[in-house]
Chain A
């Protein structure tokens, strides 16, 4: 419990710093928050009015505290482009992006876990070597190339999947290619990681003990070896969510998916800074919180850590 509490304090500190940096982003922009809210080319009078309205002349810590207070209650400001609030935009776009990321993560683990286990079990066989080569090659394919290739092969050359995803038509079928584009690179990372950890675990004495007890290979692999080998996979999967978020920005662009990735790129081009700020702060905070959750889960899965931390 003390472990969780310590982590929680750490989480809060990181969150404060991350949100502060995001907040400062707008203040340090050329033109400052005035330009961010009104857009460039606003006349002096309205700028003065805005400064008055929002007390923009207050010291930064006070403004940060006010901004954070608003942000926590869901007020992240308004888009100057179309007038809708940032929260509305996020509320509409976030679910699609989350669904896409979950789908990709699911696909990646679905392939990587069985292959990671199998290659560790059959280490140094032809099967292992081929899998190793393929995954090494996959590591060198950026997701925008992967997506382009998949679209060419399975949407244009063969008409199996749609090349673009219409709004409101997001489902497991239409999102398959986008999710796969995101997943393939991660598969290689997960697979190689799990394979190495599994090979190390399979050399442990307790695996020998399980074998000497007459347990079946299947039971040894899944019940005895997989769990202790999965900790780094779990951690990396958590960190990978950061990669996936970056990936979705590009993938949404390619497949025309209306998620926050497309939103942020669009807003950057429109110089719609409050929206950019809102998306960045939500993504960064989400990422930090997910990693916190992974840390806790990690401790939950590994009894050694759980108890060591409990005692400490």
Chain B
């Protein structure tokens, strides 16, 4: 029995093991005798799941789309203010629908939908600008991670041999460090006093490095399953070159599971970025990030809990949506859990 892979990234998806069919899943222990009936029942169940993607999926997708749009367009949207502009009258102003909050900016001239923070900055705008950091780091790190880790995994799973052993051993060594500790070490190592952009680059790079081993392992595992298939063997026998087989035969099959997994990976990277910025090690204040907003808000938790809780809620909903959509897509693509 192979031990489950120690990918930290793998954790949320560990529990799904496809294949438990309806009859047996009913808590029984019967090995159902009627083979033909079993097959038909399974098929119809599959079709049933194919059809419905559920309202939850669309709500989650809608949330993500809106968030991405807001984040992307933030500098040009009229209702998104400068995240660092201080409105002294909005100091610790609660969210609009609560006592003390306001819909029309009665205290000050401007609307603070989600209230103001400890310095009187608009929380709504800060959350949107924070999303820019989180989403950028999340997407960029996972994309780069897949580019590097994916290539490593693909070649390791295809060529096997000494190369695979060495490469995967290197991945295992990286996984031998607890993830956040490794992140801290790399941040320390990479960080040099510099501009905000430099820090953003450092964080993205750190989280890319961190995500490589897990992504490499996952890619390798699915490559392994496909490189044994008939169509690949056939291509080999026909004398196709390795590069061609990798790109034309294996890659198209490996990509769908990667795509559905990438959403979950983005969620994990966002958490990591949040943790680092919570500790003050990511893009530093006054630039808004979800992590440092939550951290700053904690001091006012007693008097103005919304300062911390609003970014908490936004972050939670975003992570939940990413995980949920990723999970649903994975089921839909019927990606078998590949762990080795």
Cβ of A29 under 8 Å from chain B = yes
Please measure, in the bound complex, the distance between the C-alpha atom of A251 and the C-alpha atom of B27, giving whole angstroms: 39
Cβ of B24 under 8 Å from chain A = yes
Cβ of B275 under 8 Å from chain A = yes
B25 and A145 contacting across the interface, CB-CB below 8 Å = no
CB neighbors of A among B10-66 (8 A): 11-12, 14-17, 20, 24-31
A268 and B188 contacting across the interface, CB-CB below 8 Å = yes
Cβ of B192 under 8 Å from chain A = yes
B181 and A284 contacting across the interface, CB-CB below 8 Å = yes
Q: Please give, as numbers and ranges, the residues of chain B lying within 8 Å of A151 by CB-CB distance.
A: 298, 301
Task: Pick from A49-57, A71-79, A230-238 the stretch touching chain B.
Answer: A230-238
Q: How would residues 177 to 194 of chain B score, 1 for a CB under 8 Å from any chain A CB and 0 otherwise?
A: 111110111011100100
- CB A130 to nearest CB in B, in angstroms, measures 15
Q: How would residues 149 to 187 of chain B score, 1 for a CB under 8 Å from any chain A CB and 0 otherwise?
A: 000000000000000000000001100111111011101
Known A-B contacts A124-B25, A288-B176; the reply to A192 vs B14 at CB < 8 A is: yes
Contact for A29 among B24, B29, B189, B319, CB less than 8 A: B189
Complex A-B: 14 CB contacts under 8 Å: A25-B188, A140-B320, A144-B291, A148-B312, A156-B301, A196-B15, A200-B17, A203-B20, A235-B6, A253-B279, A276-B184, A280-B185, A283-B181, A284-B178
Cβ of B125 under 8 Å from chain A = no
B14 and A18 contacting across the interface, CB-CB below 8 Å = no
- CB B206 to nearest CB in A, in angstroms, measures 13
Q: State the main secondary structure of chain B at its contact with A.
A: helix
Known A-B contacts A152-B305, A265-B279; the reply to A207 vs B14 at CB < 8 A is: no
Known A-B contacts A195-B15, A268-B184; the reply to A243 vs B8 at CB < 8 A is: yes
A residues apposed to B, CB below 8 Å: 14, 17-18, 21-22, 25, 28-30, 121-124, 136-137, 139-142, 144-145, 148-149, 151-152, 156, 189, 191-193, 195-197, 199-200, 202-205, 207-208, 211, 231-232, 235-236, 239-243, 245-247, 249-250, 253-254, 264-265, 268-269, 273, 276, 280, 283-284, 287-288, 291, 295, 298, 302, 304-305
Q: Can you name the residue of chain B whose Cβ is closest to the Cβ of A141?
A: B316
Contact for A148 among B1, B267, B301, CB less than 8 A: B301
Q: Please give, as numbers and ranges, the residues of chain B lying within 8 Å of A241 by CB-CB distance.
A: 178
Q: Please give, as numbers and ranges, the residues of chain A lying within 8 Å of B179 by CB-CB distance.
A: 242-243, 246
Interface size on B, residues (CB 8 A): 62
Q: Please give, as numbers and ranges, the residues of chain A lying within 8 Å of B20 by CB-CB distance.
A: 199-200, 203
Q: Please give, as numbers and ranges, the residues of chain A lying within 8 Å of B184 by CB-CB distance.
A: 249, 264-265, 268, 276, 280
Q: Can you name the residue of chain A whose Cβ is closest to the Cβ of B56?
A: A133
- CB A241 to nearest CB in B, in angstroms, measures 8
- CB A282 to nearest CB in B, in angstroms, measures 10
Q: Can you name the residue of chain B whose Cβ is closest to the Cβ of A21?
A: B173
B181 and A246 contacting across the interface, CB-CB below 8 Å = yes
Q: Please give, as numbers and ranges, the residues of chain B lying within 8 Å of A191 by CB-CB distance.
A: 15
Please measure, in the bound complex, the distance between the C-alpha atom of A21 and the C-alpha atom of B209, giving whole angstroms: 15
A148 and B308 contacting across the interface, CB-CB below 8 Å = yes
A122 and B27 contacting across the interface, CB-CB below 8 Å = yes
B29 and A196 contacting across the interface, CB-CB below 8 Å = no
B305 and A192 contacting across the interface, CB-CB below 8 Å = no
CB neighbors of A among B291-339 (8 A): 291, 294-295, 297-298, 301-302, 305, 308-309, 312, 315-316, 319-320, 322-324, 327
Q: State the main secondary structure of chain A at its contact with B.
A: helix
A22 and B279 contacting across the interface, CB-CB below 8 Å = no
Please measure, in the bound complex, the distance between the C-alpha atom of A121 and the C-alpha atom of B27, giving whole angstroms: 6
Q: Please give, as numbers and ranges, the residues of chain B lying within 8 Å of A197 by CB-CB distance.
A: 17
A142 and B274 contacting across the interface, CB-CB below 8 Å = yes
Known A-B contacts A141-B316, A196-B17, A211-B29; the reply to A249 vs B294 at CB < 8 A is: no
A14 and B176 contacting across the interface, CB-CB below 8 Å = yes
Please measure, in the bound complex, the distance between the C-alpha atom of A18 and the C-alpha atom of B185, giving whole angstroms: 12
Please measure, in the bound complex, the distance between the C-alpha atom of A243 and the C-alpha atom of B1, giving whole angstroms: 24
Known A-B contacts A123-B27, A148-B308, A196-B17; the reply to A140 vs B323 at CB < 8 A is: yes
B14 and A189 contacting across the interface, CB-CB below 8 Å = yes
Q: Can you name the residue of chain A whose Cβ is closest to the Cβ of B189?
A: A25
Please measure, in the bound complex, the distance between the C-alpha atom of A287 and the C-alpha atom of B305, giving whole angstroms: 37
Q: Please give, as numbers and ranges, the residues of chain A lying within 8 Å of B15 by CB-CB distance.
A: 189, 191-193, 195-196
Q: Please give, as numbers and ranges, the residues of chain A lying within 8 Å of B189 by CB-CB distance.
A: 25, 28-29
- CB A128 to nearest CB in B, in angstroms, measures 10
Cβ of B72 under 8 Å from chain A = no
Please measure, in the bound complex, the distance between the C-alpha atom of A304 and the C-alpha atom of B29, giving whole angstroms: 23
Given A156-B301, A231-B1, A231-B3, 20 further pairs, Cβ under 8 A? A14-B172, A25-B185, A25-B189, A29-B188, A145-B294, A145-B312, A145-B315, A149-B309, A152-B309, A199-B20, A203-B28, A245-B180, A246-B180, A246-B181, A249-B279, A250-B279, A268-B184, A284-B176, A284-B177, A287-B176
- CB B265 to nearest CB in A, in angstroms, measures 14
Contact for B31 among A14, A200, A205, CB less than 8 A: A205
Q: Please give, as numbers and ranges, the residues of chain A lying within 8 Å of B178 by CB-CB distance.
A: 241-243, 245-246, 283-284, 287
Q: Can you name the residue of chain B whose Cβ is closest to the Cβ of A232?
A: B4
Q: Please give, as numbers and ranges, the residues of chain B lying within 8 Å of A145 by CB-CB distance.
A: 294, 312, 315-316
Cβ of B89 under 8 Å from chain A = no
Please measure, in the bound complex, the distance between the C-alpha atom of A276 and the C-alpha atom of B187, giving whole angstroms: 12
- CB A83 to nearest CB in B, in angstroms, measures 21
Known A-B contacts A17-B173, A249-B180, A287-B178; the reply to A137 vs B320 at CB < 8 A is: yes
Contact for B29 among A202, A242, A288, CB less than 8 A: A202
